[in-house]
Amino acid sequence: MISKISQSPALVRVVPFAIFIILTSLQEKFGETGRYWIYLAKTLAGAGMLAVVWRHIEELKWRFSWEAVVAGVAVFAVWVGLDGLYPRTDALYAGQICPLLQKIGLTKECAAPAAGAAWNPNAAFGTGSVLAVFFIIVRIVGSSLVVPPLEEVFYRSFAYRYIASKEFLSVPLGKFLPVPFLVTALLFGFVHREWLAGILCACAYQGLVIWKGRLGDAMTAHAITNFLLGLWVVWRGAWHFW
């Protein structure tokens, strides 16, 4: 199975991300404390999958540059700065999208999707407890070191180029393609609750890939953004970002 996946340029870039997303969807299925253990499991699984596929994905290499640092810090500032200035995806669906679907007969009721409790280990295990501190560290490490390569490979390397051509490896990473750029940005944005920040984030990371002609700078920028956001969440108690 692993051998078959590693031999397919598409599968080796899609399967690890898909498994990670499936595990993410299970986080709310096992109670208040279970979600934290599932996050730990998916982080370990993600790290393990990256270790397996790393040598099969040529562009999966971290790159440090001043542009990556600037982009990472800027995206963090935008993500935090826009908070509260626009409706999140659940409110947007209930207030704008669902009424439109209702008018054209695609749905009968409009209500915001049920939102899970804020991801706050202090509330679940006790402020300052060993488990609370442990899961905060797991979240910061996972979002900074595991999420960036998984997401950047899928969105910026695979999806962006596959939208342009099924022979996606023939599409240079540094080539600007308007339609794939827009579609990928929207896709990335709307899988996040902070959809507007997500769209701008995707534009910044994809722009960095195009500018540098490689994936590694975007991975570094993504890691910096998530690390700073993690510190902000803990410092300010802004658990809704998680």
Structure tokens at 231: 């510190």
In the predicted model, is pLDDT for residue 111 greater than 60?
A: no
Structure tokens at 131: 């488990």
Longest dimension (CA), the chain: 52
In the predicted model, is pLDDT for residue 73 greater than 60?
A: yes
In this prediction, residue 96 carries a pLDDT of 63
Cβ–Cβ under 8 Å, residues 55 and 10? no
**Per-residue pLDDT band at 203 (split at 50, 70, 90):** very high
CA 214 to chain centre: 19
What distance in Å separates the CA atoms of residue 16 and residue 117, rounded to the nearest whole number?
A: 27
In this prediction, residue 72 carries a pLDDT of 98
Give me the number of domains the chain comprises.
1
Domain that includes residue 130, residue range: 2-241
In this prediction, residue 102 carries a pLDDT of 62
Task: Output the CA angle 205-192-157, nearest 5 degrees.
Answer: 35
Coil, helix or strand at residue 84: coil
The number of beta carbons lying within 10 Å of the beta carbon of residue 202 is 25
The number of beta carbons lying within 10 Å of the beta carbon of residue 89 is 20
Lowest-confidence segment of 48-57, 101-110, 178-187, 217-226 by average pLDDT: 101-110
Place of tokens 């595990």: 23
The set of residues, in sequence order, having a beta carbon less than 8 Å from that of 218 and lying 6+ positions away, is 68, 71, 148, 152, 156, 205, 206, 208, 209
In this prediction, residue 87 carries a pLDDT of 86
Cβ–Cβ under 8 Å, residues 190 and 155? no
Enter the pTM of the model. 0.90
Residue 4 or 164, more confident? 164
In this prediction, residue 233 carries a pLDDT of 97
**Per-residue pLDDT band at 91 (split at 50, 70, 90):** confident
Cβ–Cβ under 8 Å, residues 89 and 193? yes
156-193 pLDDT tens trace: 999 999 999 999 999 999 999 999 999 999 999 999 99
Cβ–Cβ under 8 Å, residues 220 and 63? yes
What distance in Å separates the CA atoms of residue 216 and residue 174, rounded to the nearest whole number?
A: 12
The number of beta carbons lying within 10 Å of the beta carbon of residue 58 is 11
Give me the phi and psi of 180, to 5 degrees please: -60, -35
